[in-house]
């Protein structure tokens, strides 16, 4: 029975990544394109991790700090695993649509819990492999493993996903305990997740490469020894230290066992608990008459702000954008002093550089991409209502733009002031970043319309998985990555050419997608079937 549950969960995860809906006549071309996109992204990340590993291994070889590459790798892998699973764990464990169905069957509740935890830990293994495998291969080639170090490296690779799973499960349990007792759980959930994840990342940053007095440029990397957990992992892998391996094993095993015991004791209680509900008080007020588009727009914005899963998975780029802008503003003097350019070249490169960073982060918002998939059972209502499909599609696009524009605009204003951009450069910078918001909204809507996903068990799957979301995120990121590289090259010729090479394609692509949506896209929407 447990084997069947695990197989079912893994099948659901795989289908969520490779399928858009229940339609069986999937295009083989779209499947091939998806696989190619997967391969390109994974190859790029593996190459980047391998390049970083090569640099670290050469810098630490023969210095007595051979543990440092593995320490940094374990730190990066744990952060990636936690980021990749923290938002899904709460929904997968406590808010899945099939919880009540499975609990009504003669299935031990612990089997349901174990199957879902195993599925989550396998996802963590895949995320960890992207970081750890290049480091292990490069380290073995450049520095070399001791026999015991090779064994311990495999053990660290096996143990680390259980630690990150334990942390994400404990956070999800705490959030579920709190939100199940409050009426309006969305803001509480978002705040708690941001606090937990932000605290973890701050801790990692505090004990990471900058912990040493000399910072990262001082390659003694002595500060890494203060990061006990990550240092033990690196020491065990590099030097074959039995004591470090034992300490790391305890740090992984104890939280994992504790997380399982806590969840096993409270799983049924949390899943079946009667949720606190907001008591609606009806008041007699005069209602103003509005258009169908306005009504749809309000619905989309309200839908976003009443779903913690939607906010955390599709709108986190807004938070990252403002945080990064504040960080770059605070560090502006140090950044300007460390730039390897002088004089006129700095004036050309810096304005476009800060704009490119903000534009890239803005392209990570995915609010429009899953908006059609989220309609799910209500899709027929929109299709049968006396509402023009154009209003439905444009409302979803405009909701994305309205939600993302304020923080993107504030971020660019902060950067323009901090780096003292000229009036023309400031206008171009703001226009470029906002064009990314508009393009991402249209691009996500196009993919959401072409590859809707209606076979999800919980909304976290709809807003995080599937070809529409995957293509919207990485497609826009690759689009602006290529344009940014071209922009930097042209900035050497003229300080404004970089902005134009990003701004012009964004506007042209957005206009092209707009005309498609209001013409052919309306017919596609009317033919969608759940």
Domain boundaries, given as residue ranges, for the chain: 26-272, 292-527
Whole-model pTM: value is 0.68
Percent of the chain whose predicted confidence (pLDDT) is above 90:
10
- Ramachandran angles phi, psi of 366, nearest 5°: -125, 30
Say yes or no to pLDDT of 261 above 90: no
Summarize pLDDT for 468-496 with one digit per residue, the tens.
888 888 888 888 888 888 888 888 787 78
- Ramachandran angles phi, psi of 78, nearest 5°: -65, -40
Say yes or no to pLDDT of 57 above 80: yes
As a three-state string, the secondary structure of 317-367 is HHHHHHHHHHHHHHCHHHHHHHCCCCCHHHHHHHHHHHHHHHHHHHCCCCC
Summarize pLDDT for 94-127 with one digit per residue, the tens.
766 666 677 777 777 778 778 888 888 888 888 8
DSSP letters, 113-165, are HHHHHHHHHHHHHHHHHHHHHHHHHHHHHHT---HHHHHHHHHHHHHHHHHHH
Please give the residue that has the higher pLDDT: either 176 or 168: 168
The reported pLDDT for the residue numbered 283 is 63
The reported pLDDT for the residue numbered 17 is 53
- Identify the top-confidence range among 132-146, 257-271, 449-463: 132-146
Please give the residue that has the higher pLDDT: either 480 or 277: 480
Comparing 42-56, 178-192, 209-223, 403-417, which segment has the lowest mean pLDDT? 209-223
The reported pLDDT for the residue numbered 20 is 47
Contacts of 218 (CB under 8 A, 6+ apart): 212
- State the pLDDT confidence band at 442, using cuts at 50, 70 and 90: very high
Say yes or no to pLDDT of 456 above 80: no
Tally of CA atoms within 13 A in the half-sphere of 39 that contains its CB = 6
Average pLDDT of the segment spanning 224-247: 82
Say yes or no to pLDDT of 237 above 60: yes
Say yes or no to pLDDT of 10 above 60: yes
Output DSSP code: residue 517: I
Contact 73, 208 (CB under 8 A): no
The reported pLDDT for the residue numbered 211 is 41
Q: For residue 63, count CB atoms less than 10 angstroms from its CB and return exposed for 0-12, middle for 13-18, buried for 19 or more.
A: exposed
Say yes or no to pLDDT of 202 above 50: yes
Say yes or no to pLDDT of 391 above 80: yes
Say yes or no to pLDDT of 181 above 70: no
Say yes or no to pLDDT of 297 above 70: yes
The reported pLDDT for the residue numbered 24 is 44
Average pLDDT of the segment spanning 169-187: 71
Average pLDDT of the segment spanning 123-137: 87
Please give the residue that has the higher pLDDT: either 6 or 379: 379
DSSP letters, 274-285, are PPP-PPP-----
How far apart CA 24 and CA 33 sit, in angstroms, is: 17
């Amino acid at each position: 029975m447990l084997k069947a549950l695990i197989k079912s969960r893994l099948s659901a995860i795989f289908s969520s990544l490779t399928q858009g809906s229940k339609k069986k006549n999937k295009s083989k071309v779209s499947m091939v394109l998806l696989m190619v996109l997967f391969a390109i992204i994974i190859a790029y990340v593996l190459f980047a991790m391998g390049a970083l590993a090569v640099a670290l291994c050469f810098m630490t070889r023969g210095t007595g700090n051979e543990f440092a590459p593995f320490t940094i790798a374990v730190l990066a892998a744990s952060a990636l695993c936690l980021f990749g699973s923290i938002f899904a764990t709460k929904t997968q464990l406590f808010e899945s649509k099939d919880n009540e169905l499975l609990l009504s069957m003669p299935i031990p509740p612990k089997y349901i819990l174990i199957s879902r935890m195993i599925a989550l830990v396998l996802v963590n293994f895949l995320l960890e492999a992207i970081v750890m495998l290049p480091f292990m291969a490069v380290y073995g080639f450049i520095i070399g493993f001791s026999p015991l170090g090779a064994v311990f490296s495999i053990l660290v690779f096996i143990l680390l996903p259980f630690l990150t799973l334990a942390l994400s499960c404990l956070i999800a349990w705490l959030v579920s305990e709190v939100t199940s007792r409050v009426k309006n759980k969305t803001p509480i959930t978002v705040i708690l997740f941001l606090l937990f994840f932000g605290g973890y990342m701050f801790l990692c940053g505090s004990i990471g490469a900058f912990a040493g007095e000399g910072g990262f440029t001082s390659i003694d990397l002595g500060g890494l020894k203060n990061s006990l957990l990550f240092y033990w992992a690196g020491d065990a892998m590099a030097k074959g230290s039995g004591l470090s391996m034992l300490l790391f094993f305890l740090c992984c095993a104890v939280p994992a066992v504790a997380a399982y015991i806590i969840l096993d004791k409270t799983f049924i209680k949390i899943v079946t608990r009667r949720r606190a509900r907001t008591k609606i008080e009806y008041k007699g007020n005069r209602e103003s008459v509005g258009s169908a588009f306005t009504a749809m727009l309000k619905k989309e914005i309200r839908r976003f702000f009443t779903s913690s899963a939607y906010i955390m998975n599709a709108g986190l780029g807004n938070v990252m954008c403002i945080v990064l802008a504040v960080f770059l503003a605070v560090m502006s003097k140090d950044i300007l002093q460390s730039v390897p350019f002088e004089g006129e070249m700095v004036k050309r490169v810096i304005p476009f550089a800060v704009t490119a960073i903000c534009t890239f982060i803005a392209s990570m918002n995915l609010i429009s991409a899953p908006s059609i998939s989220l309609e799910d059972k209500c899709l027929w209502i929109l299709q049968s209502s006396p509402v023009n499909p154009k209003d439905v599609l444009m409302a979803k696009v405009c909701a994305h733009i309205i939600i993302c524009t304020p923080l993107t605009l504030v971020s660019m204003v902060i950067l323009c002031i901090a780096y003292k951009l000229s009036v023309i450069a400031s206008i171009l910078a703001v226009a470029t970043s906002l064009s990314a918001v508009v393009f991402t909204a249209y691009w996500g809507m196009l993919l959401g319309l072409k590859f809707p996903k209606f076979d999800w068990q919980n909304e976290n799957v709809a807003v995080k998985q599937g070809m529409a979301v995957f293509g919207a995120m990485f497609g826009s990121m690759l689009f602006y990555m290529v344009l940014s590289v071209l922009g930097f090259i042209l900035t050497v010729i003229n300080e404004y050419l970089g902005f134009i090479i990003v701004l012009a394609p964004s506007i042209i692509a957005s206009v092209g997608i707009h005309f498609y949506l209001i013409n052919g896209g309306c017919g596609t929407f009317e033919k969608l079937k759940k």
